[in-house]
Amino acid sequence: MFTTAHLTFAFILLYILQYLLHLAAGLPSVPMILFLYYASATLIDGDIILPKIASYLISYRNIHKDSIIFKVFSVFSVSNHRLLPTHMPIYWLLFSPLILLGNPILSSILLGIYGHLFLDTIDYGLRLNPRNYKTYGLKLLKVEDGKSLSYYLRRYFKSIPILAIELGLGIFSLFLLLY
């Protein structure tokens, strides 16, 4: 999903959590938690540069195909960043015990990542099994892997279901904000 969906979804989740948990005084402010959630939900897409780096290193640095370095970089040499381990729930589940520490900052960061992954199941799907590249989810956005960002954005903003979700999240967030 686009960045606006991550922001509005963050606001909705945090509003609901604040209502359900009655956030007590002494916790970080809601704007700070919202910032941490939004930053983590957005920064997870920073992995978009990893396939480019891996392809460059494999192609131009003459790394031997049997070396450990080649095997590590080949994991990151995919046509779509959503196929990387950083977009797999199992990878982030390893960090889930941190939520049990009760730290609202760590919990906000992990919640942002989980929220991001949830939204990605709607448009593209998520890779669940580290051993294959099959994705699971609604897959409302029909795009070809390996295409440019402009191709993705054109397809994204022409998709009526995706735009309806974006608009719905925005309107619901505005409603909660004004309520």
Q: What is the pLDDT along the chain (179 residues), one digit of tens a residue?
A: 888 888 888 878 877 777 766 655 455 666 777 788 888 888 888 888 888 888 887 777 677 777 887 777 787 888 888 899 899 999 999 888 877 777 777 888 888 899 999 999 999 999 999 889 999 999 999 888 888 889 989 999 999 999 999 999 999 998 988 87
Query: Cα–Cα distance between 39 and 33 in angstroms, integer?
Result: 10
- How far is C-alpha 31 from the geometric centre of its chain's CA atoms? 20
Pairing of strands 135-136, 126-127: antiparallel
pLDDT at residue number 151: 93
Q: How far apart are CA 48 and CA 120, in angstroms?
A: 14
Question: What's the domain range around 30?
Answer: 3-46+82-178
Q: What total of structural domains would you count in the chain?
A: 1
Q: Is residue 16 part of a domain?
A: yes
Q: State the pLDDT at residue 23.
A: 53
CA-wise closest residue to 35 among 87, 105, 101: 105
| pLDDT value at residue 134 | 93
- DSSP summary character for residue 137: S
Q: Tell me, what's the pLDDT at 3?
A: 82
DSSP letter at 85?
G
Q: What is the pLDDT of residue 25?
A: 45
- Looking at residue 79, its pLDDT comes to 81
Backbone angles phi, psi at 142, to 5 degrees: -95, 105
Contact between 12 and 111 (Cβ < 8 Å): no
pLDDT attached to residue 140: 94
C-alpha 75/C-alpha 68 separation (Å) is 11
Neighbour-count burial of 124, counting CB atoms closer than 10 A to its CB (0-12 exposed, 13-18 middle, 19+ buried): buried
Torsion of Cα atoms, 147 then 46 then 121 then 74, to 10°: 70
